[in-house]
Amino acid sequence: MQRDLVSTIIPVYNRASMLREAVDSVLAQTYRPIEIIIVDDGSTDDTSRVADELSNDFTRVIHQTNGGAGAAREAGRRAARGEFIQHLDSDDLLLPRKFEQQVGGLGANPECGASYGWTRFRHSDGSVEPKPWKRSGEAIETMFPAMLQSRWWDTPTPLYRRAVIDRAGAWLSLRVEEDWEYDARIAALGVKLHYLADWVCEVRRHDTHLSGGADAWHDRAVAHEAIYSSARRANLSPDSPEMRHFAREIFLLARQCGAAGLADDSQRLFTLARRAAASYDSQTQFRLYASIARVIGWRAAGRLSALIDKVRA
């Protein structure tokens, strides 16, 4: 580990033009020292060439066979040398004083393991939300329990101490929701947060979608199981609003996995949701769904549930 160094890990797949902008936003930081680790996750367009062109004294490039975002982030984690770790998706941007302000905030607050600030959200038409995105404009002392109800910041929002990342360990090889699972794992460590009341990054919505199909549903199932395990390690009460919300989300995902034809994932998530739920009303609903699934099967039960939801909508 190199003291004071900020390592920025950028996984990328088939996103050449946006990659340039992401890297430029790191190089524009008012803080030094920095390093950038680009992980080309088996791109099939000219992204690999562009990544190599961006290699310089600050930037290293890792090429690997396509394995998804989780595997790419893990390759970057293993290669990072910094005392601080910044994760950046290849379609997002850091604002120039992010490192300067957040490293300073962590230096002034040695009890904190991560620093976060305001996230700007830009729509695909170029318009920008006037207020901080999600809950990045709120001062929150720890990631849990709020992180269980939703991922209340975005990937580039926090800056982590390397020691926190080392404690969290390796990323799971997931293609979706790998970032929420990792945040929940860090949250279970009880990490205290430094809050910066200023803009630190920009996330951008666009029309490119990189994940989908049955594999994505399976990865979401694995991620939710791991998030629940993190919540249990953090001793979150099953009666808390956040845990009740997450139990309902697991139940919904169980039905969605069934509709996608993933019977094993559906049944496993259903059992988990039932364990996580504490209210009698939920248990009544679970008993009814279990009875239906036993008769017509988990796939058919999920598809029936999706049809009912569609009619209600």
Domain ranges (residues) in the chain: 2-204, 214-312
pLDDT category of residue 310 using cuts at 50, 70 and 90 = confident
Contacting residues for 114 by C-beta, under 8 A, at least 6 apart: 106, 143, 158, 159, 160, 161, 164, 186, 191, 193, 194
280 pLDDT above the threshold of 90: no
| DSSP structure class, residue 128 | B
Q: What is the mean pLDDT of the chain?
A: 95
Q: Where are the beta strands (DSSP E) in the chain?
A: 2-12, 34-41, 59-64, 82-87, 93-94, 112-122, 159-161, 192-204
- Domain at 2-204: CATH code: 3.90.550.10
Rounded distance, CA 224 to CA 262, Å? 15
210 pLDDT above the threshold of 60: no
Mean pLDDT of 206-212: 61
Give the pLDDT of residue 214. 86
Lowest mean pLDDT among 156-165, 221-230, 259-268, 304-313: 304-313
* 282, 249 Cβ separation under 8 angstroms: no
207 pLDDT above the threshold of 70: no
In the chain, the amino acid numbered 74 is: E
Specify the length of the chain in residues. 313
251 pLDDT above the threshold of 70: yes
Q: Helix (H, G, I), strand (E, B), or coil: what is residue 82?
A: strand
Give the pLDDT of residue 213. 84
Rounded distance, CA 309 to CA 189, Å? 37
Mean pLDDT of 206-219: 77
* 275, 229 Cβ separation under 8 angstroms: no
Burial of 175 (0-12, 13-18, 19+ CB in 10 A): buried
Mean pLDDT of 106-134: 97
282 pLDDT above the threshold of 80: no
User: 20-75: per-residue pLDDT in tens?
Assistant: 999 999 999 999 999 999 999 999 999 999 999 999 999 999 999 999 999 999 99
| Rg from Cα positions in the chain | 20
Cα 177–Cα 180–Cα 186 angle in degrees, nearest 5: 145
Question: Taking the model in full, what pTM does it have?
Answer: 0.93
Burial of 128 (0-12, 13-18, 19+ CB in 10 A): exposed
Give the pLDDT of residue 241. 92
pLDDT category of residue 147 using cuts at 50, 70 and 90 = very high
159 pLDDT above the threshold of 90: yes
